[in-house]
Amino acid sequence: NAGVTQTPKFRILKIGQSMTLQCTQDMNHNYMYWYRQDPGMGLKLIYYSVGAGITDKGEVPNGYNVSRSTTEDFPLRLELAAPSQTSVYFCASSQGQESNYGYTFGSGTRLTVV
Amino acid sequence: EDKVVQSPLSLVVHEGDTVTLNCSYEVTNFRSLLWYKQEKKAPTFLFMLTSSGIEKKSGRLSSILDKKELFSILNITATQTGDSAVYLCALKAAGNKLTFGGGTRVLVKP
């Protein structure tokens, strides 16, 4: 079982460039999430999905887009990268509202926008 | 808006010491409170608490929730250098979303 797999692990973008952060899980979890973590801070929710075809905004969605065409995949798109988007991005999944095990996190993508 | 506040921000202890981490919260529709340990990479799950007064234990770590006073504590006894990490408290409310606190950075010196 691979769990939650994120790619790439590191990326440097120039201001205005676009990129997609990939996230795949093989646990058949319905719920998936994208968080960002700025240095010395907790995690902030960007977008989440409760199932294929359903997505919703979290706390800090501006500058990002998501899609959920399959249960397994939940890519995060940055359209016009800005220095404020320099952060570590974590994808996570969970079984559902009654899960006793919290979330399963991916290993993160460290993004720098210069 | 749900809110999670952790204290202290950071602390330094020596091996063998006991540490107590605090997490206070404000929430509209409480489901559970979770603790995570974060070392270099992704947070790893420690505990999920849903009921007041019931201590959860895992080895040298334990945690308890007080839903009346809206806080939780995480205790680590006989600390080891491997306990050095950021400890995150998170609140699960309606919709299964987690709201995280800012974390407490623990450094255990030999």
For residue A100, the chain B residues in CB contact (below 8 A) are: 48
What average pLDDT does the segment A15-32 reach? 95
Torsion of CA A110, A44, A60, A25, to 10 degrees: 60
* Average pLDDT over all residues of chain A: 92
Contact between A9 and A107 under an 8 Å Cβ cutoff? The reply is yes
Collapsing DSSP to helix, strand or coil, B17 comes out as: coil
Q: Kindly indicate the confidence band of residue A111, based on its pLDDT and cuts at 50, 70 and 90.
A: very high
Q: Is the pLDDT of residue A99 over 80?
A: no
Cβ contact, residue pair B42, A106, below 8 Å? yes
> What is the band of A18 on the pLDDT scale with cuts at 50, 70, 90?
very high
Task: Write out chain B's pLDDT in tens, 110 residues.
Answer: 889 999 999 999 999 999 999 999 998 888 889 999 999 888 988 999 988 888 999 999 999 999 999 999 999 999 999 999 999 999 988 767 789 999 999 999 99
Residue A40 or B65, more confident: B65
Q: How high is the pLDDT of residue A103?
A: 85
* Model confidence at A98: pLDDT above 60: no
CB pairs under 8 A between A and B: 59
Q: Residue A22 pLDDT > 90, yes or no? A: yes
Of B4, B44, B96, the CB nearest to A96: B96
Q: Which residues in chain B touch residue A96, judged by CB atoms under 8 angstroms apart?
A: 96
Backbone angles phi, psi at B13, to 5 degrees: -135, 170
Interface mutation vs chain A, best among B31, B32, B35, B41, most A CBs within 10 Å? B41
A107/B contact by beta carbon, under 8 A: yes
Contacts of B24 (CB under 8 A, 6+ apart): B4, B5, B7, B70, B71
Is residue A2 over pLDDT 90?
Answer: no
SS3 for B52?
A: coil
Res B40: pLDDT: 80
Question: B interface mutation test: which of A57, A103, A109 has the most B CBs within 10 A?
Answer: A103
Q: A97 pLDDT exceeds 70?
A: no
Residues A73 and A52: their CA atoms lie apart, in Å, by 9
- Write down the pLDDT at residue B51: 86
Q: What is the pLDDT of residue A81?
A: 95
